[in-house]
Amino acid sequence: MEVFGSSGVRGVANEELTPELAMKIAMAAGTVWDADSVAVARDTRTTGRMLTDAAAAGLAAVGASVDRLGVVPTPGAQAHAEREGIPLVTVTASHNPPEYNGIKLAGADGVELSVAALERVESVLLNGEFDRAPWDHVGDERRVDDARREYVRGVVAAVDRDRIADAGLTVALDPGHGAGSLTSPELFRRLGCRVLAVNAQPDGRFPGRDPEPVPENLADLGRLVRSTDADLGIAHDGDADRAIFYDETGEYIEGDATLAALAAAELDEGDVTVSAVNVSQRLVDVADEAGARLELTPIGSTRIVSRVQELRSAGESVPIAGEGNGGVFFPNYRLARDGGYVAARFLGLVADRPASEVVRPVQGYHNVRMNLGYDSEDDREAMLAAAATLAEEADADLDTTDGYRLDYGDAWVLARPSGTEPLVRIYAEATSEDRAETLAGRMRDAMLDAGG
Ligand code: MG
């Protein structure tokens, strides 16, 4: 796909992702959907209103009436789509820096579009075969004010609220000025938690921190946990479909450890779980232990969703899936990543024992991540060729589902170009930090020599 990458369309707003492109994507999607109504939502970015206005105009032009949801977490917009049985256009760049924006599409079941459906939309977009409505059939619009409220209500109703409330937990929250600023404080209060928050004003300039919930951006949250004696620190990305946690001592919990701990509580024998090629050994071990099968896809939630749908239609039980970046699916609840719901499920575990103990059984691994920028396609190609050469020469099993994953038995390293930014990402995991650093460093040095 040329236009839709691993996470929908992403780019610097008004340079790569222009209002013209947003309008055409909406026209193409509206043409494929042929629906009476389509919902439009956004996160807090400064360019969100401009792009949702363009998308709404494009939908009206192909005859779809528009539900304007305003600022709402992506999972809340997906919940609205499912409730109303209408497709969805969400304007968000998720965890990308403030100058970025993006577009995600979901069907009338609230599930993001499959790769095959995106290819149909892309084909209409590239051919310009829009189904323009005559003047008396263009779409209308209505403002929907309760999408956020309904989202919170839905999450509270879907978890064991009393068990969480009875534990009397204190939550330190960092929604990072994103869409979760408008829902998560209320969500955790309604689950009976005491809530203390930083960066909880919706602000598309993201003055307190960048939207990506990685440790470099979350020092304030760690301090808040320690200074308030909170039981759990919770951080979201810009559209709050992900949740990342800090334990009760103020220590960052790797997203891979969270996923593995949630999976350990969820997986039964004969179940299947789905993750991406940068999967942690933690989830491999948990799936083994439970007698469940683990399937790997290329990186990106679209790929995981498509695979989960295939497995479920083949009659398989897939109670949990996801990636180590805080994006976890509980497909029996909704086939959508949901930062609020995942945090509520994790609070259900923390109600029994401290967060550090919840993840203790899946600790003992060290992860290293590096990003290498490149200036041109030639540099990118040279870097990937260097990774291929290293893979051939290394004493490791090679998996090329997405990038180059070198599996050494006790450790692994993956080099893979980002789908959303001009970066090649390196991931390594080992039972010692030295070994993870060495493997990642060897990959980095090979690629830097080549052109990074
Ligand atoms: Mg996101």
Q: How is the chain split into domains, by residue range?
A: 9-145, 150-251, 255-362, 366-451
> What's the gap in Å between 409 CA and the centre of ligand 1?
32
pLDDT of residue 347: 98
Between CA 60 and CA 74 the distance in angstroms is: 22
What's the CA-to-centroid distance between 240 and ligand 1, angstroms? 6
Q: How far is the CA of 173 from the centre of ligand 1 (A)?
A: 17
SS3 362: helix
Q: Say which CATH superfamily domain 255-362 falls into.
A: Alpha-D-Glucose-1,6-Bisphosphate, subunit A, domain 3 (3.40.120.10)
Which residues participate in catalysis according to the annotation?
94
Instruction: Write out the DSSP string of 292-334.
Output: -EEEEE-SSHHHHHHHHHHHHHTT-----EE-TTS-EEBTTTB
Identical topology for domains 255-362 and 366-451: no
Q: What is the whole-number distance in angstroms between the Cα of residue 411 and the centre of ligand 1?
A: 28
Pairing of strands 88-91, 37-42: parallel
CATH code of the region 9-145: 3.40.120.10
What is the DSSP code (8-state) at residue 135?
G
Tell me the CA–centroid distance for residue 70 and ligand 1, in Å.
Answer: 17
| Cβ atoms of residues 231 and 169 within 8 Å | yes
Calculate how far, in angstroms, residue 236's C-alpha sits from the geometric centre of ligand 1.
8
Query: How far does residue 304's CA lie from ligand 1's centre (Å)?
Result: 14
Residue 4 amino acid letter: F
270 CB burial (10 A radius; 0-12, 13-18, 19+): exposed
Q: Residue 28: enclosing H or E segment and its boundaries? A: helix 19-33
Residue 419: its pLDDT value, please? 77
Give distance in angstroms: CA of 94 to centre of ligand 1: 4
Q: In the 8-state DSSP scheme, what is residue 9?
A: E
Looking at residue 335, its pLDDT comes to: 96
Please check whether residue 197 is in contact with residue 177, taking contact to mean a CB–CB distance below 8 angstroms: no
Measured in Å, residue 106 CA sits from the centre of ligand 1 at 14
Model pTM above 0.75: yes
In this structure, are strands 100-106 and 9-12 parallel, antiparallel, or unpaired?
antiparallel
Q: Report pLDDT for 326.
A: 86
Specify whether the CB–CB gap between 4 and 122 falls below 8 A: yes
Quick check: helix, strand or coil at residue 378? helix
**May I ask the CATH architecture of the domain 366-451?**
2-Layer Sandwich (3.30)
- Confirm or reject CATH 3.40.120.10 for domain 150-251, answering yes or no: yes
Rounded to whole angstroms, how far apart are CA atoms 390 and 415? 11
- Residue whose tokens read 């683990």: 294
430 with 411: CB under 8 angstroms?
A: yes
**pLDDT tens-digit profile, the chain (452 residues):** 778 876 679 999 999 999 999 999 999 999 999 999 999 999 999 999 999 999 999 999 999 999 999 999 999 999 999 999 999 999 999 999 999 999 999 999 999 998 899 999 999 999 999 999 999 999 999 999 999 999 999 999 999 999 999 999 999 999 999 999 999 999 999 999 999 999 999 999 999 999 999 999 999 999 999 999 999 999 999 999 999 999 999 999 999 999 999 999 999 999 999 999 989 989 988 999 999 999 999 988 889 999 999 999 999 999 999 998 889 999 999 999 999 999 999 999 999 999 999 999 998 898 899 999 999 999 999 999 998 899 888 888 888 989 999 988 778 999 999 877 899 999 999 989 999 999 999 999 999 988 75
Distance CA 79, CA 90 (A): 12
Distance 42 CA to ligand 1 centre (A): 11
Q: What is the pLDDT of residue 418?
A: 87
